[in-house]
C-alpha cells in the first residue's frame, strides 16, 4: 500500500536536521553576497570565486551554489557555463526607465503630501535633515544613503499612499545599486541635502506646486548624475 507523504517530509524521506542547516547556510551566503553587490563591495563584472568563498566561510560549495542560483534568478548574478559566476552589470536602460517612473510618481506624491502631512511627520522630516547634515559633514556615505531612503519613505508614508509606497519600494530595490553610486561624487552629499531641504520647506509651507517642483528637480539631478557616471564608468553597465 502506498504511504502518503506527510507534512515535514521531502519526497520519499523525512526532512533531516542537515537539510535545515544547509538551507540556513544558503540563506546566510545569499544575504552576504547580495549586500556586497547592492553596497558596491562587489562591483559589476567581478567574478564570484566559489572555492574561495567555501574556504573562507568554512562550508561546502552546495549552499554557495544554491545562493548564487538564487541571485542569478534575481538578475544580480550572471552564470556563464564553463566560465563561472559574475556580478551582473547594471542595465542602463532599466535604470533610465525606472528613474522616469520614480521621478513622475514621487513628484506627484510630494504635491499631495504638502496637503496631507501632519505636524509629527513634518517634525520627523526635520529630524532626518539634521541627521543628514551630520552624516554629510562626516562623509558617512552609508549613513547618508540610509537617511536618504528614510527621507523619501517618510514623505510617502506621511501622505498615507499605501499603493504608491508598494510600487516605489519595488523600484527602490532595483535602483539600490545605482543610488549608492550617485552619492559618491565630490559635493553630492551637500547638494542632495540642499535639495531635500527645498522639498521639506515646500511641504512645511503647504505649497503643492513648490513641493512637486522641488522633488522633480531633485530627481532630475540624480538622473543627470547617473548619465555622467554611465559615461565615465561604462564597465559597470550593460546597454
Read off φ and ψ for residue 105, nearest 5 degrees.
Answer: -75, -45
* Average confidence (pLDDT) over 94-109: 96
Do 66 and 183 belong to one domain?
A: no
Range(s) of the domain holding residue 50: 15-88
* Average confidence (pLDDT) over 135-139: 95
**What confidence tens digit (pLDDT) does each residue in 196-212 have?**
999 999 999 999 999 99
Contact 162, 116 (CB under 8 A): no
Please name the residues in contact with 181: beta carbons below 8 A apart, sequence gap of 6 or more: 40, 229, 236
User: Does residue 4 carry a pLDDT above 80?
Assistant: no
**What confidence tens digit (pLDDT) does each residue in 213-229 have?**
999 999 999 999 999 99
Question: Where among 62, 88, 114 does a domain terminate?
Answer: 88
We report the CATH number of the domain holding residue 224 as: 1.20.120.530
Number of structural domains in the chain: 2
Do 19 and 52 belong to one domain?
A: yes
Contact 226, 182 (CB under 8 A): yes
Do 65 and 104 belong to one domain?
A: no
- In whole angstroms, what is the distance from residue 174 CA to residue 180 CA? 12
- In whole angstroms, what is the distance from residue 87 CA to residue 150 CA? 27
Please name the residues in contact with 223: beta carbons below 8 A apart, sequence gap of 6 or more: 96, 99, 103
Residue 21: the pLDDT is 52
**What confidence tens digit (pLDDT) does each residue in 151-160 have?**
999 999 999 9
Give how far Cα 89 sits from Cα of 36, 51, 52, Å: 14, 22, 22
Do 96 and 175 belong to one domain?
A: yes
Identify whether 8 is part of a domain.
no
CA atoms within 13 A on the CB side of 12: 0
3-state secondary structure of 65: helix
Question: Where among 29, 62, 88 does a domain terminate?
Answer: 88
Do 128 and 155 belong to one domain?
A: yes
We report the CATH number of the domain holding residue 35 as: 1.10.10.10
- In whole angstroms, what is the distance from residue 86 CA to residue 44 CA? 8
CA atoms within 13 A on the CB side of 114: 22
Do 103 and 148 belong to one domain?
A: yes
Do 219 and 170 belong to one domain?
A: yes
What is the reported pTM? 0.78
Contact 94, 174 (CB under 8 A): yes
Amino acid at each position: 500500500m502506498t504511504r502518503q507523504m506527510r507534512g515535514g517530509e521531502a519526497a520519499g524521506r523525512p526532512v533531516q536536521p542537515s537539510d535545515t542547516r544547509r538551507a540556513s547556510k544558503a540563506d546566510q551566503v545569499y544575504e552576504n553576497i547580495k549586500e556586497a553587490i547592492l553596497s558596491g563591495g562587489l562591483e559589476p563584472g567581478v567574478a564570484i570565486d566559489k572555492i574561495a568563498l567555501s574556504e573562507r566561510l568554512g562550508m561546502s560549495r552546495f549552499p554557495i551554489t544554491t545562493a548564487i542560483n538564487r541571485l542569478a534568478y534575481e538578475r544580480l548574478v550572471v552564470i556563464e557555463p564553463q566560465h563561472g559566476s559574475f556580478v551582473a552589470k547594471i542595465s542602463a536602460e532599466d535604470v533610465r526607465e525606472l528613474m522616469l517612473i520614480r521621478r513622475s510618481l514621487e513628484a506627484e506624491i510630494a504635491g499631495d503630501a504638502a496637503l496631507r502631512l501632519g505636524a509629527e511627520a513634518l517634525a520627523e522630516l526635520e529630524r532626518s535633515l539634521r541627521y543628514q547634515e551630520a552624516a554629510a559633514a562626516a562623509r558617512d556615505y552609508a549613513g547618508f544613503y540610509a537617511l536618504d531612503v528614510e527621507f523619501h519613505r517618510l514623505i510617502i508614508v506621511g501622505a498615507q499612499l499605501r499603493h504608491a509606497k508598494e510600487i516605489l519600494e519595488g523600484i527602490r530595490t532595483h535602483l539600490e545599486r545605482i543610488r549608492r553610486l550617485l552619492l559618491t561624487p565630490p559635493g553630492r552629499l551637500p547638494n542632495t541635502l540642499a535639495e531635500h531641504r527645498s522639498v521639506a520647506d515646500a511641504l512645511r509651507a503647504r505649497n503643492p506646486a513648490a513641493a512637486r517642483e522641488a522633488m522633480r528637480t531633485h530627481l532630475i539631478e540624480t538622473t543627470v548624475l547617473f548619465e555622467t557616471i554611465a559615461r565615465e564608468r561604462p564597465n559597470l553597465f550593460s546597454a
